[in-house]
Amino acid sequence: MADIRVRFAPSPTGYLHVGGARTALYNWLYARHHGGVFILRIEDTDVDRSKPELETAILESMRWLGLAWDEGPEVGGAHGPYRQSERQERYRQVVAQLEKSGAAYPCFCTAEELQARRAHAEAEHRAWKYDGACRHLSADEIARRRSAGQSYALRFRVPHSGTTAFDDQVFGRIEVSNADIEDFVLARSDGHPTYHLGVVADDLDMRVTDVIRGADHLSNTPKQILMYRALGATVPRFAHLPLILGPDKQRLSKRHGATAVGAYRDQGVLPEALVNFLALLGWTPPGGKEIVPPEEMVQSFELSAVSKSNAVFDLEKLAWMNAEYLRHLPRERLLPLVEEELRKEGFRIQDSGFSGRRPEAGRQDPGFRIQDSEGGNQKLEIRNQKPEVRDEIAEVRRQHAASPAHEREKFERSVLLLQTRARSLKDFVQSGRAFFSDEFDYDPEARKKFWKDAALADYLDALAARLEKAETFDAAETEKVLRGLAEERNLKAGLLINASRVALTGQGVAPGLFEVMAALGRERVVARLHRAAAFLRNPSAGNN
């Protein structure tokens, strides 16, 4: 299949929702698999509901998911414009062509009239379909009404007999008799095209070879095929995708909670996890693997392997998949993500208040590096500077070496520690709060469970004292110290371990205690143990 061209055509009447995202993904996979072109088109024919901000948000979500388009807004292409609102002239031409050939005719029925007739039919339990009132108006009559200024819509003249069929790449052969298709509207009385006109004209102009979209369009397809034929055009291949449902098996909607792609990003979901999860909603890769990297998806994606039945969006499985991706995320990618998360939550990463030896704000980086003409970084030579400047630079360097570098290291170790049990990026700032700030509360549940022993305050002080003097401060050494103390006092090590965990992290649940200690550093550990001891002696003095 050479020269495959597919498109994803969202309408900017809402955010990109997960169903749309899956449709976009399948289009993208199909295009990439076949070395074809992936087009993004904005279907903003509904002028009342379409909003430019929403278009921006959709584009943003697409980029976040990693679904780059080859033609469309912002990247252009040879078959644009890619916004329906900018293609009005083209639709007028198509309508004119259809009207001229007799495939379309003006309908002067007003919305109210149609409404009334429909209601009447329903009241009598008759199936309603546009009754063709204007289907056979004479040319004279049409001219008369037009010159009288009567507004009209344009309808497609659907044949009364015969059937329209097509071979869907997912659903197989679909056949409907034309008698069941009504004379649908192509152009509204205000001249704006309807969806049917827009898609067909655009898909034609954009040379779309494969229309891949939600199964909610399955019933619309025969109408569109009729239009292609009336236009004398080649009918593209169609592939319809089963719908995504909520837990109640109803079509997924806002009622079910988060449906927007952006909402999942805000909840700390990784794009690769969402993509992988969405891909599996209706498609099974060969071998039934669950975790499938994008390259592999592209390689093995086949429309014929797409399921025909609707799928429930299972948040639990998404959460699992997100955790899976999060745990295996390379640190270069994880660290910036966590930093961003912390920033969003108002943490100041370099300034967690421990060493107090960080450079003052205004002096942080007085030309420590300069940009060379190639754009790379180049260190300033100290010896060529005037003495005052030289001293200042030297001082800043010293501080950078002493404190920020150290803090940075602690930060990285903490992130990596937390990574092993994170389920979402939010976990780093929520349950992991104590790793990035001194301001954290003792979880009431954890206190109840692990701070029961009356003598704990003394134990924690004793532990702090010993840790302060410990030879080194790595996991092995701190463990030795703690277990030694436990043995001397005839305590179970678990008692001290669990109590210390609450003291150091505020949580009853956290990574292994000795790794936590190493990541936090001696100073913080000692301070927090003492602080917890003080709190235990006098809880009313305040939490913290």
Partner RNA sequence: GGCGCUAUCGUCUAGGGGUUAGGACGUCAGAUUCUCAAUCUGAAAACUCGGGUUCGAUUCCCGGUAGCGCUACCA
Site for RNA, residues 133 to 162, rule: CB under 7 A: 151-153
Q: Sketch the per residue contact string, 438 through 477, with RNA: x for CB under 7 A, - otherwise.
A: ----------------------------------------
Residue 8 or 399 having the CB closest to RNA: 8
Asked whether the CA dihedral 284, 287, 290, 296 is positive or negative, the reply is negative
CA 259 centroid distance within chain: 10
Residue from 74, 180, 441, 488 in contact with RNA (CB under 7 A): 180
Least Å distance, CB 373 to RNA, is: 49
Catalytic-role residue among 51, 223, 254, 289 = 254
Residue from 510, 525, 533, 536 in contact with RNA (CB under 7 A): 510
Least Å distance, CB 167 to RNA, is: 11
CB 227 within 8 A of CB 200: yes
Site for RNA, residues 85 to 104, rule: CB under 7 A: none
320 binds RNA (CB under 7 A): yes
Least Å distance, CB 172 to RNA, is: 6
Site for RNA, residues 253 to 282, rule: CB under 7 A: 280-282
Choose one: 74-82, 97-105, 312-320, 395-403; the region binding RNA (CB under 7 A).
Answer: 312-320
Alpha-carbon distance values, 334 to 165, 294, 510 (Å): 51, 18, 19
CB atoms within 10 A of CB 283: 24
Instruction: Give exposure, 62-81, as e/b (b: 16+ Cβ within 10 Å).
Output: bebbebebbbbbeeebebbb
- Using CB atoms within 10 A of its CB, is residue 35 exposed (0-12), middle (13-18) or buried (19+)? exposed
Q: What is the largest CA-CA distance in the chain?
A: 109
Residue 305 or 465 having the CB closest to RNA: 305
Choose one: 318-326, 340-348, 377-385, 395-403; the region binding RNA (CB under 7 A).
Answer: 318-326
Residue from 36, 73, 508, 521 in contact with RNA (CB under 7 A): 508
Site for RNA, residues 327 to 386, rule: CB under 7 A: 327
Q: Would residue 469 show up in a list of annotated catalytic residues for this protein?
A: no
132 binds RNA (CB under 7 A): no
What is the rounded distance in angstroms from the CA atom of residue 215 to the CA atom of residue 213? 7
Least Å distance, CB 362 to RNA, is: 42
Site for RNA, residues 214 to 233, rule: CB under 7 A: 215-220
Residue from 464, 515, 526, 528 in contact with RNA (CB under 7 A): 515
Find, among 150, 159, 160, the residue nearest to 113 by Cα. Answer: 150
What is the rounded distance in angstroms from the CA atom of residue 425 to the CA atom of residue 505? 18
Residue 363 or 452 having the CB closest to RNA: 452
CB 457 within 8 A of CB 530: no
Residue from 72, 268, 511, 521 in contact with RNA (CB under 7 A): 511
Mapped onto helix, strand or coil, the DSSP state of residue 7 is strand
CA 103 centroid distance within chain: 43
29 binds RNA (CB under 7 A): no
Residue 390 or 483 having the CB closest to RNA: 483
Residue 38 or 171 having the CB closest to RNA: 171
Residue 231 or 497 having the CB closest to RNA: 497
Cα 158–164–167 angle (5° rounding)? 145
**What is the total count of residues that contact RNA (CB under 7 A)?**
88
What is the rounded distance in angstroms from the CA atom of residue 208 to the CA atom of residue 200? 10
Least Å distance, CB 425 to RNA, is: 15
Partners of residue 87 on adjacent β-strands? none
| Strand duo 377-379 + 369-371: pairing | antiparallel
Q: Which residues are identified as catalytic?
A: 254
